[in-house]
Structure 1
Amino acid sequence: MGNVAQLDDPEAVAAAEEIMRPFLDRLDPGHVARFFIGRTKGYYAPCLSVEDVREHIEEIRDDRDYTVPADPADEMAELFTTIMG
């Protein structure tokens, strides 16, 4: 599977530039940040209920020990590890 806009495809680069330029022009000069999706340890119960979520919300939201899965397979491996104990 290739990238949406291949760098060696001038038409794709021009289309990406046209779409992104209005947003890029509004960025604050000098500001760079990393945006990522992390996964907290969370809470697991085989028969999870709304009440479980309410009672364990602090544990669910605790981001002190999060991971950043590299890809969907990595995310699934973490999930299966949690489920299988």
Structure 2
Amino acid sequence: MPMNEKAKPQNCGVGTEQEPEAGICKVCGCTDNHACYDPDYGPCWWVDETYTLCSHCAGPEDPESLAALRLMDSENEED
């Protein structure tokens, strides 16, 4: 197994050459039945209308993402 294969998160595997398919994250390959999981926030959720980007892969610029939620929580802790 190539070294970079070991570094991938468990749900990774969707190739970038494939068209995004509804219900499969285009970044990590997670699905409703095999969702990403964060110990503090739980399983991921869909952040787009096409169900092709999960909350754990979306960036902080997306207000529905896990990154945005963490950023908002950290700002609230500072207050």
TM-score, normalization: structure 1?
Answer: 0.22
Ranked by relative contact order (alpha carbons within 8 Å, sequence separation 6 or more), the top structure is 1
Q: With structure 2 as the length reference, what TM-score do the two structures score?
A: 0.23
Q: Which has the larger radius of gyration?
A: 1
Higher percent of residues as strand: 2
